[in-house]
Amino acid sequence: MLIRHLDPEKFFHAYGVDIQLLYPWEGTVVPPFGAAWAVIPPGGATKHHNHQENETFFVARGRGRYTVGEEAMEVGPGHVIYHRPFEKHILQNLSETEELLFLTVWWEDKNLWPEPPATAAGASRRLLVTAAPPTPNGDLHLGHISGPYLAADVLTRAQRLRGVDAYFACGSDDNSEYVKSKGAQLGLSPEAAAERFVASIERSLGLAGIGLEVFVHANESPHHRRLVSEFFLELHRKGKLEERETLAPHCKETGRYLFEPWIGGKCPHCGSGVVGNTCEDCGRVNDALVLEPRSMLTGGAVEMRPVRRFVFPLSQYGSFLESYWRRTSMRPHLRGFCEKLLADGLPDVAVTHPTDWGIPVPLPGYENQRLYVWLEMAPRYFSYAQHAVEKLGREGDWRHFWQSPEAEVVQCFGFDNSFYYAAFLPALFHAFDSEVRLPTGFITNEFYRLEGLKFSTSRQHAIWVNEFLTGVPADVVRFYLSYVAPETEGTNFSLQDFLATVERELVNGWQGWLGLLAARVEGEYGGEVPATGDWTAEHQHFHGQLERIVAEAEQAYAVASFSPQEMTRLLSELVRLARRFGMAEEHWKGVPERSQERRTGVALELLAAKLLAILASPILPEFAASLWRNLGFGEELTLGSWESGKPEWVPEGQKVSGLAGPYFPAPTSLRELATARAGKFTS
């Protein structure tokens, strides 16, 4: 007789609970399921998680709350709970004195796995995509474009193709203290510095093909300052802000209050060098309380003096944020960052500062303080929505995007801004009005380097958009920045790799294949699309490959799995497969009894070219529009042009003209253009 019993000495800790494994029973039996006793301590909970197995809980002792998705119920002895594969679940012990004991049994059945999630913007048909606002203290370089601006533009274009009413809105961060510091360096007022660089930034975005619905100049907007002041006053009215007197750093020599560009030192969390209130390396905030502080005004000593400021008590919003993060799509680095924030404890954040630049605190007694730009950042997105609503001629105000059940918001930003976008802003939105519908997805990027070194304005280690894209076509730059996008790890712009990649993938690959296809259509069918005829097994296989690529492209363009890097490789795979297929089909040429099969083969290649135009259009919009026209389609690629399932053929008899291009500059010409504008980065 073989018997096991509950034995605390055999416990190990996993999933937030103590577990004693029962099956597989080593040396005895290996059944098609696993089983274990699990004990949740008083007040504790399992990890909020999901997995591929089916699982059943048998509650033996204690009282708890079981939550799956958004549904929850209380459970106790005798309850049997089943959850399906990949259902997110958590079991909490409601008692503060008694353990909760349950038996868990799990097994795998892939037939019960759910279908892949929807690839458009959830269930809604209206989408506002935003990007972190550029600070007008300098022009944009390729490192800037590679991050949130290109990501937001590609996502918006892709969602429009999928039939979503999607818009990209952004603006300038005029009231940043860094604008004031840059102006001081140039002998300009903050207002003059902001005006100068906002114009340059807008031109750079246009050169990069970034298709914004609105670009809001914050301090020229009729809505921005009003909405920011109303937001602050509503938080104050509801008692969501606290007045606190705390010690804050001041320049010992000048007595000036130090924060953002005015203080330097080491990050108290990771030890990296830091300037300002946020560490670029670890993403943590410090309220200017850095290690080894120094005044960036004088390079000298810092002293602590009492300052009375308004503070947002973010530490009170841990449970709310934990619940919000469970239902929000984000990349693993950001999710891990959020969990670490909770584990370490959320910091409270000062939202007013003694300075003379920015939006005044709209309360008496605070005339010498301004609202922190990161508090301003929350209602800034209401302002964007308001401007978009007015430009589109829609009824209503910012709530059209931020409170409608038919709408969603997705935000794009660099990882160094993670604390603010993932924690601070959602808590501010919730404190302001719980009816605000928070962003459903965050798309982050890591650092992008230039020839192995960080882009640096001060060291002039940068390739400026205004210079580089004046001569180099935007599409080839967008392709390369997507191809090496810093999505989950830091990546690098190399001029030589840029030139080699464009020549290999676009000139020799895409344009090379389209040239061969154009010769076939013109030479054999007089430039008209042939009707399909008989099919071979190879035809069926190639058509299946096209369907697979479209399905994978839907995932690469979806919010939850968004990856322009993956998409560029899919596009090149489509071309590689089409070229290989086309070369194999050449053997039917001149065989009269196989003319039906020959027609089918060329029609399939033209279908591949049509799909290339559609799938490439979010990343290479000019190339896609040109290819679409050359395939004989009069109308532009517009809302709902995406084709899922069985894609429609290029119509029989349609005239094809100019299919061979050229679509991209010749390698020699591109090399001359690129090196003329970035010649010092040719290592």
pLDDT per residue as tens digits for the range 441-456:
999 999 999 998 888 7
Cβ neighbours, 10 Å, residue 113: 13
φ/ψ region of 383 (left if φ > 0, alpha if ψ in -120 to 50, else beta) reads alpha
Is the predicted pLDDT of residue 104 greater than 70, yes or no?
yes
pLDDT in tens, 169-211: 999 999 999 999 999 999 999 999 999 999 999 999 999 999 9
User: Mean pLDDT throughout 458-482?
Assistant: 92
Q: What DSSP character marks residue 635?
A: S
**Mean pLDDT over the full length of the chain:** 93
Phi, psi angle pair for 239, to nearest 5° = 75, 25
Strands across the sheet containing 263-266: 273-275, 263-266, 291-295
- CA separation for the pair 260, 237 (Å, rounded): 28
- Segments in 393-483 forming alpha helices (H): 399-402, 418, 425-432, 465-471, 474-483
pLDDT per residue over 565-589, tens digit each?
999 999 999 999 999 999 999 887 7
pLDDT at 88 over 90: no
Tell me the sheet residues that pair with 45: 92
Between 335 and 122, where is the model more confident? 335
Rounded to an integer, the average pLDDT of 510-527 is 96
Which amino acid does the sequence have at 497? D
The percentage of residues in the chain with a pLDDT greater than 70, rounded to a whole number, is: 97
pLDDT of residue 683: 42
pLDDT at 640: 72
Q: Is the pTM of this model over 0.85?
A: yes
Of the listed ranges 2-6, 315-319, 616-620, the least confidently predicted one is: 2-6
Q: pLDDT category, 117, cuts 50, 70, 90?
A: low
Residue 646 has pLDDT above 90, yes or no: no
Q: What are the start-end ranges of the E strands in 53-179?
A: 54-61, 64-68, 71-75, 80-83, 89-93, 100-107, 126-131, 165-172
Q: Give 23-38 pLDDT, tens digit per residue.
A: 888 878 888 999 999 9
Q: How confident is the model at residue 47 (pLDDT cuts 50, 70, 90)?
A: confident
Output the pLDDT for position 187: 95
CB 617 within 8 A of CB 548: no
Smallest CA-to-CA distance from 317 within 341, 294, 346, 357 is with 346
User: For residue 236, what pLDDT is reported?
Assistant: 98
- DSSP lists the bridge partners of residue 68 as 71, 89
> Residue 283's closest CA among 334, 320, 321?
334
Handedness of CA 533, 537, 538, 539 (dihedral sign): positive
pLDDT at position 682 is: 47
Tell me: the pLDDT tens digits for 376-431?
Answer: 999 999 999 999 999 999 999 999 999 999 999 999 999 999 999 999 999 999 99
Whole-angstrom distance, CA of residue 520 vs CA of residue 514:
10
Minimal CA–CA distance to 136: which of 177, 82, 187? 177
Least confident of 123-127, 345-349, 497-501, 658-662: 123-127
- Nearest partner of 148 among 210, 219, 224, judged by Cα: 210
What radius of gyration, in Å, describes the C-alpha atoms of the chain? 29
Percent of the chain past pLDDT 90, that is, above it, reads 83
Least confident range from 95-104, 504-513, 535-544, 644-653: namely 644-653
Evaluate whether 120 touches 163 at the Cβ level (below 8 Å).
yes
- Using pLDDT thresholds of 50, 70 and 90, give the confidence band for residue 679: low
Residue whose entry in the numeric block shows the structure tokens 């968004």: 562
Span 474-498, pLDDT tens digits: 999 999 999 999 999 999 999 999 9
User: Which of 196, 325, 184, 208 shows the shortest CA–CA distance to 260?
Assistant: 184
Average pLDDT over residues 136-151: 95
Give the residue from 629, 638, 635 showing the smallest Cα distance to 659: 629
Identity at 654, one-letter amino acid code: Q
Q: What is the arithmetic mean of pLDDT over 620-640? A: 90
> Phi, psi at residue 670, to the nearest 5°?
-65, -40
Q: Is the peptide bond before 148 cis (omega within 30 degrees of 0)?
A: no
* pLDDT for 30: 83
Taking residues 332-359, what's their average pLDDT? 96
**What pLDDT, on a 0 to 100 scale, did the predictor assign at position 29?**
81
